[in-house]
Structure formats: structure tokens, C-alpha cells
Amino acid sequence: MAKILIVDDETSIRKTFREILEFEKYDVDEAVDGLDCLVKLKQTEYDVVIMDIKMPKMDGMEALERVQLLVPDTPVIMISGHANIDTAVDAVKKGAFDFVSKPLDLNRMLITVRNAMDKSSLITETKVLKRKVSRSKTQEIIGESAGIQHIKATIDRVAPTEARVLITGSNGTGKELVARWIHEKSPRSDRPIVEVNCAAIPSELIESELFGHEKGSFTSAHKQRIGKFEQANGGTIFLDEIGDMSLKAQAKVLRALQESKITRVGGDKEIKVDVRVVAATNKDLRQEIARGRFREDLYHRLAVIIIEVPKLNERRDDIPLLVEHFIGDVCNEYGINAKEATDGAVKALQDVNWTGNIRELRNVVERLIILSAEAITAEDVNRYVASTASNSKSSPLNELFEKYNSFDELMAYIKKEYEEHALQRV
């Protein structure tokens, strides 16, 4: 049965609402003012809140702002007998689902409650679907090598805590997968994990991406934007490639970690956020600190726990398991029968120099499945190695493409290097 909370300082109105809504088969609770409302919301989960504006101790508008922080997905219907259009607009801007003026039209009120219930149901269904999608993305960490066993044990010990984690390792080693398992095994697993690729976002936009912006705060800010920290409220934010973040954005991230508060670009209101931060980088942040590219105080905030993901070349014993997993994964994706990899093929794959790590191995397995006949043989692998041999002794440009995951990341690197050389010339 759907639960509704009525917040009004007038006993007669609460009683009238209760009778009407209970007749409609809703489960109803009452609160006498904004403070009482917040106490009840901490104790019980409600589908809809109906709240008056004029109340003692804490009025409805102030209570609305706090409800948005406490239970942002719960629809709030504001009611008042002393309000005008400006009040109604202000209430909706602050997050109210709808505004109904007194004296109340019973039919309109019931329709508004039903619409709010529909929204609440959709939000719940969306959360369930997102959780299923998230879990489908959280693939098993494949491997039995000492390095992988150590990582799994560390995740089991660290995930239930609130400790911040810094994941290091080369591109393609599986840092994102480690971050997802930390979230999946944490008490926050029923809330979102929000990923931010710091290398793919231009430095002038990273603050807006992380903290959001207010309408009109810059030329293209045509409407208010909620940043990643707010989206991750109650859950986990994964800052991938944090070593590529600008110093200005680093300062704001440090403040967010210290105070659990953010301010949108162009705004002056502080917004409380409750997020767990997991960061990852393919860079040596100690070297970046020495070069003045990374804040040492932020490093110490992030690196409470450090998990280093080994390169594939350092865990070759896991390659047979990985190949078997990727064959099943790729064949299932293509809707074809799984192909077998001969012992010779697996041995040949173990001898390859995997500069691209797990990501490269998966791509090679996919290629071998497509191009091989009934089974993947050592000859198929050797043919692949021969075709890429000339490229592996590659030009600096090819090495850059290998190092960075996307064209955007590469362009961000080139821009950063250009700016540093320009400063040196000055």
C-alpha cells in the first residue's frame, strides 16, 4: 500500500486529508511542521509528501529544500492558501512536484496525488533497471594469479568501509572493473555509481561536469545542469584518469572531499553531498606532484587505500582463463557457437607482448573468432602477431594512440603539452 505523509499545522486539514486519502486506500501519516516532517522522513520511506507552506518552526519552502537533500526522489506536493503565482513557481523551481492552492479542489488534488504516485513508481522501476544494468556491467574479475587474488582480497576488506580508494595501473588493465566491484560490495550498492573520465573532458568544462552549473553562468548554459557529484549523492563517484584533471578542478574536488559540499558553477549556494570517491589513474601521481601538475594534498585525500592493478604481461598465467571467458563472451554476443582455442593457440597468446593489456587481449580474441575456421589455432595467433609486428615497432603517434583510450583523450594530452611548451617559451 502506498504511503503518504501530510504536513500541515492545522489539525482539521490533516484530518480531512487523512479521511479522503484513506478512503482511496492510501496509508497516511501526519506531521505538524517542517521539522516533524524531516524526522518522519528519516524513519519511514514515503511515496508522496503533501506539505503546507505556512507553518511554525520550519515553513514548507525551507522544509522542501531539506527534503530534496534527504530524499530527492520523493515527490512533494505543496499547498497554500496565501500564495501567488511567484510562490508556486518558486516551489516548483526548488523541486516540488506540483503546487495546489487552497481552498483545494478535491478532484484536482486526487489527480495530482495519482500523478505523483506514477512518478514515484517510475523512479523506483528506473532504479531497479539501472541496478540490473550496473550489475550486468560488473563482470567477474577473471584470474587466479597472486596479484589478482590480492586485489580480490583487498576489495573484500575495503568495500564495506567508507575509505577512499586510488586505483593505479596501465590502460586496459581493468581499473574500472575494480572500481565497480568496490561499489558493488559496499553498503552503497543500491545507489548509483557515476563515472567521470577526466581525460576526455576539456579543462574548461570539467568543473561544470563535476559540480553542475546554473542557468546563464556562461554562454552556452541555457539551463541548470546537475553535476556528477549530485548525481552520485548517496552512492559512489568514480574519477577515472584523475591525473589529467586541471589544477583548478582539483582544488574544487579537494574542497568537496573536505567539506562534503559543492557549489555549482555560477551559483553561490552550497549543496551538501554524500558520495564515496574512488579514483583511478595510469600516471605516477608522485611524479606529477613533483612536476607541479597534481596537488599533493588531494593525493593524500584520495590515496587512503591504493590498489595497483598488474599489467597482463605480469600475470600471463591468467591468460588461459581470460581467453576462455572472452571466447564465451564474444560468441554469445554474436549469437554463434563457442569456438575452441587449441593449447598451442593459448600458449602462443601467452608469449605475446601485451602492451594494451586486457583490452587488447579481448580485441585479439574477437578478431581470431571472426577470422579463424572451426577452432583458434597457433597458426591463427602467429598470423596475427606477424601482421602487427611492423606496427608494434611503431611511430610515436601510434604509441600515443595506444596509450590513450580515445581521440578526445589524445587531443586533451596534445593540448596540455602544447600549453606547457608555450609557457616555457614565455
Say yes or no: 279 and 163 in one domain.
yes
Residue that has been written with the C-alpha cell 539551463 in this structure = 223
Task: Write the pLDDT tens digit of every residue in 20-30.
Answer: 888 888 899 99
Which of 76, 95, 130 delimits the end of a domain? 130
Say yes or no: 165 and 70 in one domain.
no
Say yes or no: 13 and 159 in one domain.
no
Strands (DSSP E) contained in 274-422 are 276-281, 305-308, 340-341, 375-376
Look at residue 109 and tell me if it is in a domain: yes
Task: Write the pLDDT tens digit of every residue in 107-120.
Answer: 888 898 899 888 87
Domain extent at residue 356: 313-392
Say yes or no: 233 and 381 in one domain.
no
Q: How far apart are CA 109 and CA 98, in angstroms?
A: 10
Which helix (H) or strand (E) element contains residue 5? strand 3-7
Residue 426: per-residue pLDDT: 45
Q: What is the CATH number of the domain that holds 65?
A: 3.40.50.2300
Q: How far apart are CA 267 and CA 2, in angstroms?
A: 37
Which of 310, 326, 344 delimits the end of a domain? 310
CB 376 within 8 A of CB 326: no
> What is residue 235's DSSP assignment?
S
Phi, psi dihedrals of residue 56, rounded to the nearest 5°: -75, 170
Look at residue 136 and tell me if it is in a domain: no
Which of 102, 100, 124 is CA-nearest to residue 46? 124
For the chain, what is the domain count? 4
Q: What is the CATH number of the domain that holds 257?
A: 3.40.50.300
Per-residue pLDDT for 233 more than 70? Answer: yes
pLDDT band at 56 (very low <50, low <70, confident <90, very high): confident
Average pLDDT score over the chain:
86
Look at residue 135 and tell me if it is in a domain: no
Per-residue pLDDT for 94 more than 70? Answer: yes
* C-beta contacts of 329-333 below 8 A and 24+ residues apart: 329/362, 330/362, 330/365, 330/366, 330/369, 331/369
Task: Write the pLDDT tens digit of every residue in 154-167.
Answer: 999 999 999 999 99
Residue 203: per-residue pLDDT: 77
DSSP 62-79: HHHHHHHHH-TTS-EEEE
Say yes or no: 323 and 277 in one domain.
no
Which of 280, 310, 340 delimits the end of a domain? 310
